[in-house]
C-alpha cells in the first residue's frame, strides 16, 4: 500500500475556492480503481492550512490517478490558490494492523 500525507497552505481569501475543488477531487478520486481512501481536511484553527491523506493499493493506481482529468483540473485550481509549495510525502507501507 502507498500512503500520501502532507500539508498545503491556501492563500488568504482562497479557502472557499480550495474547499470547492477538494469536494470534487475527493469524490472523483475515491471512485478510482485502486484508491482505498482520499481525504483532505481543513485545520480547525488555521483555515488556510489543509492536511492531505490518501491510501492507494499500489504504484500503478497512483500513477493512473495522476493522469486523470480531475487531477489536472485540481492542479489548475491549486496553481492559483496555494501559498507556496506543498509539503506532501509518499510512504510505502508493507504492513498495516489495527490498534
Residue with cell 510525502: 89
Displacement of CA 75 from its chain's centroid (Å):
10
Identify the CA nearest to 72 among candidates 12, 8, 29. 29
Contact 12, 71 (CB under 8 A): no
Q: Are 89 and 5 in contact (CB under 8 A)?
A: yes
Query: Mind listing the pLDDT tens digit of every residue in the chain (99 residues)?
Result: 999 999 999 999 999 999 999 999 999 999 999 999 999 999 999 999 999 999 999 999 999 999 999 999 999 999 999 998 899 999 999 999 999
Report the DSSP beta bridge partners of residue 82: 10
Amino acid at each position: 500500500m502507498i500512503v500520501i500525507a502532507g500539508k498545503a497552505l491556501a492563500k488568504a481569501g482562497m479557502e472557499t475556492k480550495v474547499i470547492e475543488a477538494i469536494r470534487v477531487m475527493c469524490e472523483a478520486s475515491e471512485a478510482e480503481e485502486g484508491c482505498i481512501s482520499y481525504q483532505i481536511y481543513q485545520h480547525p484553527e488555521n483555515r488556510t492550512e489543509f492536511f492531505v491523506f490518501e491510501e492507494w493499493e499500489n504504484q500503478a493506481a497512483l500513477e493512473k490517478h495522476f493522469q486523470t482529468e480531475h487531477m489536472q483540473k485540481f492542479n489548475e485550481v491549486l496553481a492559483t490558490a496555494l501559498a507556496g509549495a506543498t509539503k506532501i510525502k509518499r510512504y510505502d507501507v508493507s504492513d498495516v494492523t489495527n490498534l
